Structure 1
Amino acid sequence: MLRARGGWWWRRGLRRCASLPRALRVREALQAPEPVEQVKVQGWVRSVRSQKEVLFLHINDGSSLESLQIVADPSLENRDLTFGSAVEVQGKLVKSPHKMQNMELKAETIRVVGPCNALLFPLKMKERHPLEYVRQFPHLRCRNNTLGSLLRIRSEATASIHSFFQVANEAKESAEKTHFFNVPAFLTVSGQLHLEVMAGAFTRVFTFGPTFRAENSQSRRHLAEFYMVEAELSFTESLQDIMQVMEDLFKTVTSTVLSKCPHDVELFHKHIAPGQKGRLEQMLKKRFVIISYSKAVEILKQASQAFTFKPEWGCDLQTEHEKYLVKHCGEVPVFVINYPYDLKPFYTRDNEDGPQHTVAAVDLLVPGVGELCGGSLREERLPFLESRLQRLGLADTYQWYLDLRKFGSVPHGGFGMGFERYLQYILGVDNIKDVIPFPRFSHSCLL
């Protein structure tokens, strides 16, 4: 008896579930191949237009740049149905008579889940707010179209980066005390040394996560917290191997973003950086340029342009120098290799090349941004590394690092790429603070 009753309730539950409306994301609704009798869509109102015989709404849930049009009887309108309000709409998904959209929703019920005072809401209906304006509202700016597009692009680029390294690894295996923000903080500068540890057991490793810099910079290129992609390759004795991975990563991820987020990318290329799409597509067809640091200094010294920082051999390249070099090479990304010994960290491999004394280091420079990636071969020879650490007074601190060279060390190298600078370049965004959801810089950590 109990079993029969249980079965009856179970079957009744199925019948009840079958009659419930099908929940759809806005993107799913827009791309539906055919009409659906009963659907439910939840999101935020992007526009409201009430006419005598019909009420039009456009709602968006973040899954698409395009909003879904809701067609309703004017009797469903109420005072809480305003721009910015959160709603749940149930009704029939039907083919739209308009050429600009595939589907629309004929509403039977509209429920305001969360009202919004449109007069006080800082984002206004049908207004294209400058990036500088929405930056003032880090807690609300994700409701802006531009930031919504950015977050979808970040998501796709992140997935593509993970996919790139995972596929690359599978192919390889089958073939063979700081005070900041006015409070104490202990933050990661880089995962490189940890990757070197892992490269002693795995031939290809990478990490992708938040990184911190306690630099008192307010520039358009710097953040205190940003995301960085870092990779380390074992059994490599050539900078060319490192540069090839950098170039392949850049081109693969960019091609993926362009193909999977066309409308979101177009928003940036149309309203923020006209012409950037064409430049990107051309760049993807070309090989990146390679020049030595010495050649770069020579080019800068011969330039007709006056630099704030005079280019001299042995001095680090400044942003103005990096941008000029990219322009000089035809607005194509440029690898600058073999930097002076004293400019690079202790772990960079000594080239043993005479009086000038350089190391096997590389920076990738891109148009409009300057340095995007930095990498090097690592010094795997124990005597060289011990000598340099002794001179720097770091031998005791890095004894564990020396151990890596004593127990099965191999030639290896790697690089890091700033994710926000990458997005800044491909989207043509002037300020790096506009390509991360919550920009944090010196003495500014609002959220």
Structure 2
Amino acid sequence: MLGARGGWRALRRCPSSIFSSSSFSSSFSSFSSSSSLPREQRAPAVRLRVRQALGAREAAGEVQVQGWVRSIRSQKEILFLHINDGSSLESLQVVADPSMESRDLTFGSAVEVRGKLVKSPHKMQNMELKAESIRVVGPCDTLSFPLKAKERHPLEYIRQFPHLRCRSNALGALLRIRSEATAAIHSFFQDHGYVHIHTPIITSNDCEGAGELFQIETSNETQKSAEKNHFFNVPAFLTVSGQLHLEVMAGAFTHVFTFGPTFRAENSQSRRHLAEFYMVEAELSFTESLQDIMQVMEDLFKTATSTVFSRCPRDVELFHKYVAPAQKGRLEQMLKNKFVTISYNEAVEILKQASQTFAFKPEWGCDLQTEHEKYLVQHCGEVPVFVINYPYDLKPFYMRDNEDGPQRTVAAVDLLVPGIGELCGGSLREERLPFLQSRLQRYLDLRKFGSVPHGGFGMGFERYLQYILGVDNIKDVIPFPRFPHSCLL
């Protein structure tokens, strides 16, 4: 298959590109004149993606578009098709002679259409394809196909069909947004001088210390578990975080990041949790300020969000129109303003004075629950909120001791966002060897040889998408959700 690159190669073989308005006239003339030649002497058809065809500035001849039929309407003298190939939310209208209709040409069928790209007379679309031939590559049984034409299926419904839901408008838009958001995050870090580190998925440590791990065994090990022979000679697990590996790299590179899958064996069916999700993590060396970490978190969030909005406006609009109608205005306001910062002490006092009754009573020294996080965001004006300086006993061993008296806190920060709760978590790391000697021996070597003050954070990618799009359930922002009792495909 040539794909998009093949289309561009074919374009380069033509006298001029159909996307150049200044040279289009001569290009179109050559296409038109070639149509009178025998087929074997004609230039090969230019293969276009639907997005390219819709964005063309001028008409063109001898083009080929491949995709899936989103709708079909047959009239006495004309046949209308709408073709989509996943490159855009909008489909390309194909106009054909009714004689080209066949029994296999149905909603959902895969087709290859050749013809001429012409200006559309309709205001709602720029271009349309006047078909000269339609070939059904793969027929579709519309009776058993779970997606129906002209129906807006709920996200809960299409979640039942992980192998087919990518054919829906909602998941198609989501996947294009995921792709652009991923590129925007990588661009942000590269533009700011970070080195991308591929941290391992298989690890022998539990970074979070929560014990919620998936242990790895070979099928042979499972059968002979009594022998206790490990493939790696030590117990191995799926990673819960790349942080410890980033800290290793932060001993040689001042700015590093990773972006990959992480795994948590949490037996939770909530709309905020997955067993497999993607995490963006960064580590900064030579920093003793929690504010430095918070600034990177805020800049990353705002830059990535602005980029997604500018590069996929129609896809984002689909969610903001049909899924979360008020989300667009809230996000636009959020991007203009500075995030709010409060201390853990202040957060507890706000919760204690609240008129609302909480299922978990707020007390100093207790972890903030989802209901607490949502109230704090609401109290601060429905904007993202940094909560800093948590109690020492609440956080993992690697967070830096603030040495602040009897209450004793660590330089930790959580970013809370409306509707979701915690989106990012970070801290300064404890680089002082004497402080670590009383905590954990395995961490010590990283502090003996040229240790520097450093800190970092992690952001759950799916929660980020859930927030900016206003999607209620995290299972609807990932192609193949993994959660307790569900591992389809």
TM-score, normalising length: structure 1: 0.92
Provide the aligned C-alpha RMSD in A.
1.9
Aligned to 1:382: 433
**Cα distance 1:181–1:54, how it changes in 2: closer, same or farther (>3 A)?**
farther
- CA drift at 1:170: 7.0
Aligned to 1:217: 268
Percent identity between the two aligned chains:
83
Aligned to 2:10: none
Higher relative contact order (CA 8 A, sep 6+): 1
> CA separation in 2, counterparts of 1:65 and 1:193?
40
Match of 1:344 among 378, 395, 399: 395
> CA separation in 2, counterparts of 1:186 and 1:85?
43
Aligned to 1:424: 466
> CA separation in 1, counterparts of 2:214 and 2:450?
38
Match of 2:358 among 273, 289, 307: 307
> CA separation in 2, counterparts of 1:58 and 1:384?
66
**Cα distance 1:17–1:385, how it changes in 2: closer, same or farther (>3 A)?**
farther
- List aligned pairs for 1:46-445, cutoff 5 A: 46-169=70-193, 178=213, 186-389=237-440, 395=441, 398=442, 401-445=443-487
> CA separation in 1, counterparts of 2:270 and 2:76?
53
Aligned to 2:66: 42
> CA separation in 2, counterparts of 1:144 and 1:443?
25
Contact 1:181 / 1:443 at 8 angstroms: preserved in 2?
no
Deviations 1:39-94 (A, max 9, x none): 00000000000000000000000000000000000000000000000000000000
* Unpaired stretches in structure 2, ≥5 consecutive residues: 1-12, 15-33, 35-39, 196-203, 205-212, 223-235
> CA separation in 1, counterparts of 2:371 and 2:194?
40
Deviations 1:251-289 (A, max 9, x none): 000000111100000000000000111110000000000
SS of residue paired to 2:296: helix
> CA separation in 2, counterparts of 1:366 and 1:189?
22
**Cα distance 1:310–1:21, how it changes in 2: closer, same or farther (>3 A)?**
same
SS of residue paired to 1:19: coil
> CA separation in 1, counterparts of 2:84 and 2:369?
43
SS of residue paired to 1:41: strand
Deviations 1:86-140 (A, max 9, x none): 0000000000000110000000000000000011100000100000000000111
SS of residue paired to 1:151: helix
- CA drift at 1:201: 0.3
Contact 2:51 / 2:88 at 8 angstroms: preserved in 1?
yes
**Cα distance 1:189–1:375, how it changes in 2: closer, same or farther (>3 A)?**
same
> CA separation in 2, counterparts of 1:180 and 1:203?
32
- CA drift at 1:186: 2.8
Contact 1:361 / 1:376 at 8 angstroms: preserved in 2?
yes
Contact 1:89 / 1:111 at 8 angstroms: preserved in 2?
yes
**Cα distance 1:139–1:342, how it changes in 2: closer, same or farther (>3 A)?**
same
**Cα distance 1:170–1:336, how it changes in 2: closer, same or farther (>3 A)?**
closer
**Cα distance 1:82–1:369, how it changes in 2: closer, same or farther (>3 A)?**
same
> CA separation in 1, counterparts of 2:400 and 2:215?
32
How many residues are paired up?
A: 421
Deviations 1:409-442 (A, max 9, x none): 0000000000000000000000000000000012
SS of residue paired to 2:318: helix
- CA drift at 1:443: 2.7
- CA drift at 1:19: 1.1
Aligned to 1:5: none
Contact 1:181 / 1:445 at 8 angstroms: preserved in 2?
no
- CA drift at 1:18: 6.2
> CA separation in 1, counterparts of 2:107 and 2:365?
58
Deviations 1:310-362 (A, max 9, x none): 00100000000000000000001000000000000000000000010000000
> CA separation in 2, counterparts of 1:142 and 1:17?
39
* Unpaired stretches in structure 1, ≥5 consecutive residues: 1-12, 172-176, 390-394
The letter for the 2-side match of 1:219 is S
Contact 2:288 / 2:454 at 8 angstroms: preserved in 1?
yes
